[in-house]
Structure 1
Amino acid sequence: MSKQTLDRIGTAMLALALSLIVWVNATYQMDKPREDIYPTEIPIEVLDRPDDLAVLNGTSETVQVRIRAYASSWDTLRADDFVATVDFGDLTTGVHVVPISVVVSDPTVTITGIHPQAINVRVERLVTSLRPVAISLQGEADIPMGYRASPPLADPSEVTISGPASELDKVVSVAGEVNVAGQRADIDQVVALKPVDLDGQVVESAHVSPSTVRVQVGIEKREDYREVAVRVRTAGQPARGYYVSSVSVLPATVTLVGPPAAIESVGSLIEAREELDVSGANRMLAARMDLNLPEGVSVMGAPAGEPYEVLVTVGIDAVTGGTTVELPLHAEGLAEGLELSTFVPVIDVILTGPSVLLDELETDRLSAVLDLSGLGPGTHQVHPSVTINTEGAPDLEDLQVKDVLPQYVEVTISAPPTPTPER
């Protein structure tokens, strides 16, 4: 090869080297590496966690990573490109310092530091034990008057708790709650359990199995209590050209207290000792009247053995027309699967309107209904509603239902007993 050819090759090689240097320098200037802390902390994964040991007091669940990477890599890096791990495979009971290992999937990224570099853990023996279930009743003060809740029954009555020995020593009960406020019927529901310490705080490291139990709470109607409606009857006729437009009683219901047999004899209504005489009246009447209480029965909140007065107000209006009709009472809207046990069969309905319409009114155009929609098992006080069928007789629209007596009717709704589940 001639000297001239060698000189040309050497010149070309030198030019190539200079070009490469210029390209590398330009690339470096455009994509400089930068060292900094990665903005997202990386979650620590545990490897080989021992089944028969409990690892406590891990001081950190994430790790902060310092890296050196090109600007282009910083723009594309994601948190899941990093994997941080601790290996618990060789741990025994006691206190340990376990190093944290971090790797990154991008080969152009260098990890220059991590914080923390290790976690401190305490390893204890994992134990299990049986504990009784403790169910507390909430809202007992708000159970309707005359009802009470029986002690709750949990199935199963014992559950297994597991966890570190020192943590299980803190558990004083496996607790659940049932709210009985406003309940008139038995409760049957699934309740979540939680292990709690002496202060009622949840012991997080204790595991409960099963985590729920079935709880039944009987809601009993107290035999020595009963809520009843108050009814006051009127006697006589108001002055000519006037009628009884309304009868209101305050209170409309009372709770009776006394021997069960005496309470049972009252039924669902308690009446005033006497009728209120409206003879010759041409304006509203108001009077205090004693209730006709059986021997040994008193009203809740009133002195035992003392008469109990209710305030009776009788509206007297000028007659366009008014009359009182006794109607049979029908129940509607009872939920499927429920049964209606008892209710008052008839009510008194006060009607007003033109006298000629009242004189010719056929009672089969009137209907009295108890709407039981939305009511569940238990005993309820329901206001009856009365409608007038005006089909074919539009003039009857001038009649009005002024009042109904009693204003509230006691109904008892029951459900079939819940089958006992097979074990």
Structure 2
Amino acid sequence: MERLLQRDGVVRLLSLLLAFILWVQITDARSADVTRRLTAVPLRAEHIGPDLVLQAPQALPPVDVTLQGPARDVERVRPDDLAAVIDLAGLGPGQMHTVRVQVRGLAPTVSYTVEPNVVSVFLEQRVSRPVRVTLGQPEIARGDQKYVLRLLRDQVQILGLRPNVDRVARVEAVVDPASLDGAGQREASLSAVDASGMEVQGVTLDPARVPVEVSVVRLPPARDVPVHPRFAGSLPEGYTFSVSVTPSTVKVRGPRERHDGWQEVATEPINLTGQTRPFAVQVGLILPPGAESMDYQSATVSVNVTELRTERVLADHPLAIRGVGPGLVARAAVEGVTVRLQGPKLALDRLDPALFDVRVDAAGLGPGRHLLEVRYDTPPGITVVSVNPSAVEVVISKSPNE
């Protein structure tokens, strides 16, 4: 019995020893350092200053985070526990900032590296200011009556990023003509435009619509009258032009007994001096005598300026014979040809006939009669319309001195 008890004690002691060894091994394994990589972790910005906006925040790139530390701490990290952030506290607008990426939500025993570890961001300032409202079309004519519009509110607030707000020159109010069916109050939609009249995107108007009072005025009878552009000055020598006008006709209103006297609506003078290329200009229209109103106050005149094309004839132009072999002589049936040229007047006037080479090529030909094609080099910008004759008989014979 005593031996049995002693043997049981030894077994228990060995069991405790084995359990202790196993615990030590497990503890060492969970305490050993391991590395773990998390990819495409979202990156967000924190502590952006008041009235500042991160330009294109959706462009913040995801980052890859590599963790290192005890296995028990690294393995329990879930991707949702991590926060990859850039701290924008104290950073101002209008310039590029390079900011270090930080990772939060980790145990103190876990270290990390980030790729990329810095990102570049640009901050813009959100501003607001009052802007004056103008009517894009204060009068709208329909049939024999005219709708006269008057703004009941001529100022709104514009909000947005500073570069966009600074571009805004004015706010235009537009009333849908289809909504005009009599006098009364209507709402006009608003759009912010720059100095050239192009709409500026990325801004908000408060309010987005303004009230407009509409009154109706009966119009005198109208007649369609063609628009005739007037010009001042002249093009440089050697140039000509053609014209198109938009609109080509306008409705002119006034007493019916004056209608027959309105043969044209003249534009303000358009200066042609020094113009050598096509151009377009918007000019005012001059109200004909006795007229009361027109449906357009200006027109766009497109002036197509081109070089004046003409012809020049080189009569009895010298014909050269080239390539005559050694010991041979050549004689053409004619000594000159007639060349008809076409092109810009200035280019034709400047052409030196002595530099215009007209020839036949006798290279490789022996004694006898040969019908040779007349050849030439076309001058730049000029067209050779015809050469007469286009082929010449050439007689080749041995030189008398041979």
Normalising by structure 2, what TM-score?
0.38
> If you compute each CA radius of gyration, which structure gives the higher value, 1 or 2?
2
Normalising by structure 1, what TM-score?
0.37
Larger relative contact order (C-alpha < 8 A, sep ≥ 6)?
1
